[in-house]
C-alpha cells in the first residue's frame, strides 16, 4: 500500500473551473458565493440585482407620497406595511449583491449618479389614492410574473431572496385589488378615479418587462446562465393573460382597443407598445426621474451622519473585542 501523500492537489486551472461551472448550470444546480464563476456572470448579476434593489428602494416613493393622506387608519396601516416591505426587499437584494463583491454604498452612489438603472415604472406620479390600488394590482402583479421564475435563478442568494420577496408581493397585489374593488363598489366618482388610474398605469406596466426580446441585449446570455428563466416577451404575455380576466372582475376597461383573446392560442393579443416612451423614461426623461433621484440623494446626504456614527461605533467595538 502506498503512503498517503501530504501534497495538496494542484489548483484547478481556469478551464476546469469553467467546466465545473458549466456542468452546475447544465444540471440546474445553484451557484453559491464561494464558487468560481465567470466574470461576466458576476458582473451581469450585480447589474441586474442592483437594478432590482434600486427599484425597490425608489419604488417606496410614489406610494410613500400617500402615507400622510391615506383615507383611513386601516388604509394607512396597510400602506405603511407595504412600503416597509419594499425597503426590506431592497435590503435583501443589496445583501445578495454584496455576496458578489459589490459594495452597498457604491451601488447607491451609482444609482444617484445615474450610472445604474431602476425600473421605469417608478418615474410616473401617483395622482390619486386609486393609484395606490393600481400599483398594487398592476405593478406588483407584473413584479410577481417577473419574479416568481427568479426564485429558480441559478445564483443561490438571489433565488432565495426572491422566495420571500414573492410571498410579500402576493400580499401587495391582493391589497391593491381589494382597495380597487372597494372603490369600484363606491361612488361614481370613485369608479372614475380607478378607471383613470388604470388608463395611466396600464402601458407603463407592460413596459416593466423590458424591451422586446429582439432588442434585449442581456436576455440571451442571462437565460443561458439560468439567471433569467424566460424572455421579456413571454413574461409580458403571461401578465396580460393573468390580468385581463381580473380587469373584468373589477369592472374596469383596459385602455387597449386591440386587446382580444386569440382562440387558437388561448392567449390575449394586445396592441403595439410605444417603445420610444420606455427609452425616454430609461434615459432619465420620464415625468418624475429628477424628483426620485433628488429625494434619494437627499436621503443619502442627510443621513450620512448616521452611517458615520455607526461605522465609528462598529470599529470601536471591534477594537474592544480584539484587546
Ligand atoms: N426599466 O437587456 P434587457 C417592484 C434596462 S420592483 C428600466 O432586457 P435585462 C416593486 C435593462 O436594465 C420591480 N430599465 O435587460 C417595488 C438594461 O440596461 P442595463 C423591479 C430597464 O436585465 C416597489 C436595458 O434596459 N423588478 O416590483 O435582461 C413597489 C436592456 O434590457 C427596463 C426587477 O428589477 C425597465 N422597465 O431585463 C412595487 C426584476 N427594462 O442594465 C413593486 C429583475 C429593461 O444593461 N430584473 N431595462 O444598463 C429583471 O427581470 C430584468 O433586469 C428586466 C430587464 C426584465 C427588468
CA of 66 to the centre of ligand 1 (A): 25
Cβ–ligand 1 contact at 146 (below 6 Å): yes
pLDDT digits (tens, 9 = 90+) for 289-308: 999 999 999 999 999 999 89
**Lowest mean pLDDT: which of 8-17, 152-161, 213-222, 233-242?**
8-17
Cβ–ligand 1 contact at 47 (below 6 Å): yes
Contacts of 315-321 spanning 24+ positions with Cβ under 8 A: none
Burial letters 269-291, b for 16+ CB under 10 A, else e: ebeebeeeebeebbeeebebbee
Report the percent of the chain where pLDDT is more than 70.
Answer: 97
Confidence of residue 3 (pLDDT cuts 50, 70, 90): very low
**pLDDT above 70: residue 10:** no
Cell of 128: 390619486
CA of 177 to the centre of ligand 1 (A): 24
Q: Whose C-alpha lies nearest to ligand 1, atom 39? A: 52
Crossing angle for the helix pair 140-147 and 188-207, to the nearest 10 degrees: 30
Q: Whose C-alpha lies nearest to ligand 1, atom 54? A: 210
Q: What is the mean pLDDT of residues 162-187?
A: 97
What pTM was computed for the model? 0.94
Rg over CA atoms, the chain: 23
Amino acid at each position: 500500500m502506498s503512503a498517503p501523500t501530504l501534497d495538496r492537489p494542484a489548483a484547478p486551472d481556469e478551464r476546469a473551473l469553467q467546466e465545473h461551472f458549466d456542468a452546475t448550470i447544465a444540471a440546474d444546480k445553484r451557484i453559491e458565493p464561494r464558487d468560481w464563476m465567470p466574470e461576466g456572470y458576476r458582473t451581469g448579476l450585480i447589474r441586474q440585482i442592483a437594478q432590482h434593489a434600486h427599484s425597490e428602494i425608489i419604488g417606496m416613493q410614489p406610494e410613500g407620497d400617500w402615507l400622510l393622506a391615506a383615507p383611513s387608519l386601516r388604509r394607512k396601516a396597510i400602506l405603511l406595511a407595504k412600503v416597509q416591505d419594499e425597503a426590506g426587499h431592497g435590503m435583501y437584494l443589496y445583501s445578495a449583491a454584496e455576496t458578489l463583491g459589490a459594495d452597498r454604498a457604491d451601488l447607491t452612489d451609482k444609482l444617484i449618479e445615474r450610472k445604474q438603472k431602476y425600473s421605469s415604472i417608478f418615474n410616473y406620479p401617483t395622482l390619486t389614492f386609486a393609484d395606490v390600488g393600481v400599483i398594487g394590482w398592476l405593478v406588483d402583479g407584473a413584479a410577481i410574473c417577473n419574479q416568481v421564475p427568479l426564485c429558480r435563478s441559478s445564483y443561490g442568494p438571489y433565488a432565495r431572496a426572491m422566495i420571500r420577496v414573492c410571498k410579500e408581493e402576493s400580499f401587495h397585489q391582493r391589497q391593491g385589488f381589494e382597495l380597487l374593488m372597494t372603490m369600484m363598489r363606491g361612488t361614481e366618482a370613485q369608479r372614475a378615479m380607478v378607471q383613470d388610474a388604470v388608463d395611466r398605469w396600464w402601458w407603463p406596466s407592460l413596459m416593466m418587462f423590458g424591451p422586446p426580446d429582439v432588442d434585449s441585449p442581456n436576455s440571451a446570455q442571462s437565460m443561458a446562465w439560468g439567471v433569467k428563466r424566460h424572455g421579456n416577451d413571454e413574461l409580458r404575455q403571461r401578465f396580460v393573460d393573468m390580468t385581463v380576466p381580473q380587469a373584468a372582475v373589477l369592472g374596469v376597461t383596459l385602455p387597449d382597443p386591440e386587446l382580444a383573446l386569440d382562440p387558437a392560442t388561448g392567449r390575449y393579443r394586445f396592441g403595439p407598445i410605444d417603445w420610444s416612451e420606455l427609452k425616454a423614461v430609461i434615459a432619465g426623461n420620464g415625468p418624475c426621474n429628477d424628483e426620485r433621484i433628488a429625494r434619494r440623494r437627499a436621503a443619502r446626504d442627510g443621513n450620512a451622519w448616521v452611517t458615520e456614527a455607526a461605522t465609528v461605533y462598529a470599529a470601536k467595538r471591534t477594537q474592544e473585542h480584539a484587546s
